Chain A
Amino acid sequence: MSASGTIEGAAHREPHAPEATIGRKPDYLHAESTLRSWFFTTDHKRIALLYLASITGFFVIGALAAGVVRLALVVPNGAIMTNDTYNKAFTIHGVVMVWFFLIPSIPATFGNFLIPLMIGAKDLAFPKLNLTSWYVFMTGALFTLVSVVLGGVDTGWTFYAPLSTAFSNTWVLPALIGVTIVGFSSILTGLNFVVTIHTMRAPGMTWFKLPIFVWTHYATSLIFLLATPVITTALILLIAERAFHVGVFDPAYGGDPVLFQHLFWFYSHPAVYIMVLPGMGVISEIVPAFARKKLFGYRFVAYASIGLASVTFFVWGHHMFINGQSDLASLVFSALSFAVAVPSAVKVYNWTATIHKGSLRLDTPMLYAMGYIGLFVLGGLTGLYLATLAINQHIHATYFVVAHFHYIMVGGTVLAFLGGLHFWWPKFTGRMYSEPWGRVSAILIFLGFNVTFFPQFILGYLGMPRRYATYPPEFQLLNVLSSAGATILAAGYIFPMLYLVYSLWFGRKAPANPWDAKGLEWETSSPPPTLNFVSPPEVPRIPYDYPIQATESKDQHR
């Protein structure tokens, strides 16, 4: 389809759309239209869309697997499918959702698209590396999909030895290789972001003028760089263990399976913040824009991002309280885990303080952001239960844990992802989506999510262990409730896929700044030109310069 054809067609439907100007440079979507121009592009915006398409695919796979799990748990005796099938379903769900959706979700799509725009650069520092990272990602994904097609894996997403090395008879090796490879794509993305944020900022864009979105991505990228290589080593050892019986994790030779857990969680706990921090960045952009108010405590939110990324490297042992690590180690890890609550709470308080006395507009992105704040608080506070040594003994590896991290991962990251997707959709595509449908699905997702996962807190507290295909009959009511909630949640996910795709062709044309939001990404056209800005953007005096000032001292506002 030619660029001019699209513009004319749209102008016919929408009389208020800006007229097509002869000689105006086409935007990045219409600059070229061959398949080659997409698959060999070095434009960060197009690569972001390649990632968006791929992770949406993985989200669907992961969600279907979750559906299978919830289906199996409708009956207590595991009559719907074999236990092996159940094990494979929850493993596919975990592996795909964690490694192929949550970790790349916000950084590789929104981060990729927005960081250069937000700092006033033409592209990321290393555009070819950026494209490489997508191919690396897809190569890793291919290995994992092959293992799924061949018959699946049953180790859970954590690949604990010795189950993964000696006992599992499923396709563990290709899955491990896939996860190892996908780690390199994270490293390349993180490296690109760190270098870009350090060296590519527009003149005048100092560190404390950066949007919080950029700060959280900087913190995330540091975790990518410093934690991912450790899991790469752990996985290489695991692969060598399974393929050649190296023995490092095998007690028969004096090896230590707990060593794998240490190496695994040294990455995988920080990885929680890889998944959470970018979402916090999204919320920090949405909340001021829809409260029409300057972000409260900008510097504290920025420091809290770096604080979270630092503390998170020292809490991995809280996943291992009951596996025989020393009491002293558990005590220290428990105390440090409590410390995580401080920067998390700083962020939540600052968002709520931003909303306080703001001029609220409850559009779709804001509905998601409000949902995020509530669910993140619940997920965060139940994290404190789990960090408490005595209570952890009782609820370790129960559905309480499952509910807790789904409140963080789905209630947090997925809601932030969807909120951000709606917030920046006009910028990505140049089209507006249907606002009523947006609100309906935001509310459906919030309700469906709570109906799905809140019963799991109760189930876990009553003692239902995670990862079991069967359970005592008295737990059936709550499990059926949870499965019913999953169907509402599914409906909430399907709507955006439909109306967002619909808007690509039939949506109203988006102006450059549909939300009247602040930030350099709104200064350029929607969608932006290939090199992002026609003329170098002017960096504002202060970040988040919204009409209502944050009342950092009480009198200032009155």
Chain B
Amino acid sequence: MSEGLAKGVGVARAHHFESVAQQREATTLGIWAWLITELLLFSALFLVALILRIQHPEATVAAARHLKFWIGAANTVVLICSSLTMSMAIEFSRMGWQRAMVRAMLATAALGTLFLVLKGYEYYADWDEHMMPFLSSRPFALEETPAARLFVNLYYVATMLHAVHLFTGITLLLGMTWMAAKAGFLSRHQNWIEIYGLYWHFIDLVWILAFPILYVVNRGT
């Protein structure tokens, strides 16, 4: 991995590692191990969603018709674009182009925020259509099909868990951007950008799984 790095770009060795190569290997393995546990966290939710779909196909489809397909689709595009800007940030960091890297990171954070804004608007639209069955004060639009509320509630649990991940991701990204804008960052912590990039792509990937499982497969009758 260290080949392909521009001059003056690299990683400062922490005291307990024997070499930078060992340190890079450890951090890469560490983030992948973390992503695997995260994937299992979401997998369990997706599994429950699919079980509901098998047990209550009509109710699930009736509920899923209320999802805002085009907002979900637009958000998919937004997140894929953010993964592109994050990849650019990684590439710029390897080349030592610090200013370009910082801009790409800011663009990534902006796209992530755009996703949250769209998602928030979608939640508002859901609220408007009485599609929030967990609110006891607001009657549920599909009260006559009780199983529909299962799917809708699960949709909230899954998308909110994803939104929490994205919000955490944006916060971390902005904090890191602030540090990465300082002189000498790339000579000491270039691998932070690479490691963080994997986490960002993961958030993107989870949405790419969630969108078909929640929105797409339940559209048909």
Contacts and interface: CB of A to CB of B under 8 A. Distances in A.
Interface residues of B, number: 37
B134 A263 contact: no
A545 to B, nearest CB: 25
Interface in B69-120: none
- In the complex, which range does the number of interface residues on chain A fall in? 35 or more
A195 B149 contact: no
Contacts of B154: 246, 248
Contacts of A126: 26, 30
Contacts of A232: 41
A187 B33 CA distance: 10
Contacts of B149: 247, 253
A100 to B, nearest CB: 20
A45 to B, nearest CB: 12
Contacts of A413: none
Given A122-B15, A233-B44, A253-B147, A226 B36 contact: yes
B153 A246 contact: yes
A261 to B, nearest CB: 13
B7 interface: no
Interface in A95-134: 121-127, 129
A439 B52 CA distance: 57
A199 B33 contact: no
B29 A195 contact: yes
B134 A244 contact: yes
A240 B25 CA distance: 38
A394 to B, nearest CB: 31
B56 interface: yes
Interface string A221-244: 000011011101110110010001
Contacts of A259: 48, 51
Contact of A248 (B16, B34, B136, B150): B150
Interface string A182-204: 00000100011011101110000
Interface string B145-171: 011011001100100010000000000
Given A121-B16, A125-B26, A259-B51, A226 B150 contact: no
A198 B24 CA distance: 13
Contacts of B40: 226, 229-230
A228 B36 CA distance: 11
B216 interface: no
Interface string A70-90: 000000000000000000000
A229 B38 contact: yes
Contacts of B45: 233, 237
A18 interface: no
Contacts of B2: none
A252 B26 contact: no
A77 B36 CA distance: 51
Interface in B1-54: 15-17, 22, 25-27, 29-30, 33-34, 36-38, 40-45, 48, 51-52
B30 A191 contact: yes
A121 B18 CA distance: 9
B30 A252 contact: no
B156 to A, nearest CB: 8
Contacts of A233: 41-42, 44-45, 48
A127 B30 contact: no
A237 B45 CA distance: 9
A514 interface: no
B59 interface: yes
A231 B134 CA distance: 23
A266 to B, nearest CB: 8
Nearest to B160: A240
A252 B16 contact: no
A200 B26 contact: yes
A253 B48 contact: no
A258 to B, nearest CB: 11
Contact of A229 (B37, B51, B147): B37
Nearest to B24: A199
A256 B16 contact: no
Contacts of A240: 134, 153, 157
Contact of A263 (B22, B44, B136): B44
Contacts of B33: 191, 194-195, 225
A195 B52 CA distance: 37
B37 A228 contact: yes
B79 to A, nearest CB: 22
A162 to B, nearest CB: 14
A245 interface: yes
A226 B37 contact: yes
B153 A244 contact: yes
Contacts of B134: 240, 244-246
Nearest to A239: B157
B74 to A, nearest CB: 27
B26 A253 contact: no
B29 A198 contact: yes
Given A127-B16, A226-B37, A245-B134, A234 B44 contact: yes
B44 A230 contact: yes
Contact of A195 (B26, B43, B44, B133): B26
A540 interface: no
A254 interface: yes
Nearest to A44: B16
A252 B146 contact: yes
B95 to A, nearest CB: 27
A191 B15 CA distance: 20
A127 B17 CA distance: 11
Contact of B48 (A127, A192, A198, A248): A248
Contact of B37 (A125, A127, A225, A247): A225
Interface in A155-195: 187, 191-192, 194-195
A57 interface: no
Nearest to A228: B37
A215 to B, nearest CB: 18
A124 B15 CA distance: 11
A255 interface: yes
Given A195-B26, A199-B25, A229 B153 contact: no
12 contacts: A194-B29, A194-B33, A195-B29, A195-B30, A225-B33, A229-B38, A229-B40, A233-B42, A245-B136, A246-B153, A254-B56, A259-B51
Interface of A: 121-127, 129, 187, 191-192, 194-196, 198-200, 225-226, 228-230, 232-234, 236-237, 240, 244-248, 252-256, 259, 263, 531
Interface of B: 15-17, 22, 25-27, 29-30, 33-34, 36-38, 40-45, 48, 51-52, 55-56, 59, 133-134, 136, 146-147, 149-150, 153-154, 157, 161
Q: Which 6 A-B pairs have the closest CB atoms?
A: A254-B147, A233-B44, A229-B41, A123-B16, A244-B134, A246-B153
